[in-house]
Copies of this chain bind each other. A is one copy, B any other.
Amino acid sequence: MANYVSEAVIRRLPGYYRHLRELEAEGVTQISSKDLGERMRQTPSQIRQDINCFGGFGRQGYGYSVSELKQEIGHVLGLDREHTMIIVGAGSIGSAVAHYPTFIREGFRTLALFDTDPARIGTSVNGVRVHSMEELPLFLEEHAVDIAVLAVPGDAAREVFDELARCGVTAVWNFAPVDLHAEERGITVVNVHLADSLQTLSYKIAHR
């Protein structure tokens, strides 16, 4: 990566990646900053500025090579390696993550699910076994797990998070409706907050 990449650019990178994947699937091989900007609802100069940030390689009059740019952004995003995941909570959110085709295609491989509900333990979700929470420490000792997906109810989230931290988990994708932060403990967390997104829609409905 050539230069400092700001938080705002990082937030936009997955959008670039998604659009470039779509373009590739449509058979588009070259794209100008103008056309990419129209597609992504951004100005051409914003596009050029963002891509310059990580040392992109557009050529005056030719635009960008879709496959090269996608590969470069995929590399910046860390998508050129496989990630192993466990999902804690085999309810509807945990199942949805285990089934999501984009994650599987992008190399996020779910090794196991964990749950406290005896009715779920021993079953499979999309071919992946649901284990009891008691099996979690040993599983994490025996497997290299890059990401733990936290898909438990809000009132259980902090306790399960602490358990994951004790077991040496270093990255958590949190769907529980609480803010988790643990940079000081060396744990990288991304909080999803589906309700926030629905409330943004509600705001837009109220103010249109």
Contacts and interface: CB of A to CB of B under 8 A. Distances in A.
A153 B83 CA distance: 23
A156 interface: no
Contacts of A102: 154, 177, 194-195
Contact of A78 (B106, B196, B205): B205
B200 A108 contact: no
Given A13-B203, A17-B199, A95-B96, 13 more contacts: A10-B203, A22-B178, A41-B179, A78-B199, A79-B199, A83-B202, A93-B100, A100-B195, A101-B153, A103-B194, A103-B195, A188-B205, A190-B201
A171 B206 CA distance: 11
Contacts of A83: 202, 205
Interface residues of A, number: 60
Nearest to A11: B200
14 contacts: A14-B196, A14-B199, A15-B196, A19-B179, A76-B206, A78-B199, A100-B195, A101-B153, A147-B201, A173-B197, A173-B201, A190-B197, A190-B200, A192-B194
Interface of A: 10-11, 13-15, 17-19, 22, 40-41, 76-79, 83, 91-93, 95-103, 106, 108, 146-147, 153-154, 170-171, 173, 177-179, 181, 188, 190, 192-208
Chain A interface, >50% SS class? helix
Contacts of A205: 78, 83, 146-147, 170-171, 188
Nearest to A102: B195
Contacts of A194: 97, 100, 102-103, 192
